[in-house]
């Protein structure tokens, strides 16, 4: 069963964006594995609470991601 898990900052994408992620990821797996993958492809879109992740040893927030700096 193909499986993909996307983690995004909470509140930064719409329900329509999540739908696009699910649809396009499913299509990618179908392109790779064929139609047999479609009915069993699982795509999770997890929203991570603000400050719940980091890069390079620094905690990131939505404000930091949206800044121009």
Tell me the mean pLDDT in the region 47-69. Answer: 82
Tell me, yes or no, if 2 is annotated catalytic.
yes
41 SS3 class: coil
Q: Please, which residues bridge with residue 5 across strands? A: 44
Instruction: Give me the number of domains the chain comprises.
Output: 1
pTM (2 d.p.): 0.81
Structural domain of residue 48, as residue ranges? 3-66
Among the options 2, 21, 48, 51, which is catalytic? Answer: 2
Average pLDDT, the chain: 91
- The DSSP H or E segment spanning 44 is strand 42-48
* Contact (Cβ atoms closer than 8 angstroms) between residue 22 and residue 45: yes
Give the CATH number, domain containing residue 12. 3.30.429.10
3 contact partners, CB below 8 Å, separation of at least 6? 41, 42, 43, 44
pLDDT, tens digit (0-9, with 9 covering 90-100), for 17-46: 999 999 999 999 999 999 999 999 999 999
């Amino acid at each position: 069963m193909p499986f993909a898990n996307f983690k995004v900052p909470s509140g930064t994408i719409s329900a329509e964006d999540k739908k696009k992620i699910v649809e396009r990821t499913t299509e990618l797996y179908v392109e790779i594995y064929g139609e047999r993958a479609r009915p069993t492809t699982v795509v999770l879109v997890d929203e991570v609470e603000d400050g719940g992740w980091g890069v390079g040893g620094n905690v990131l927030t939505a404000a930091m991601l949206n800044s121009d700096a």
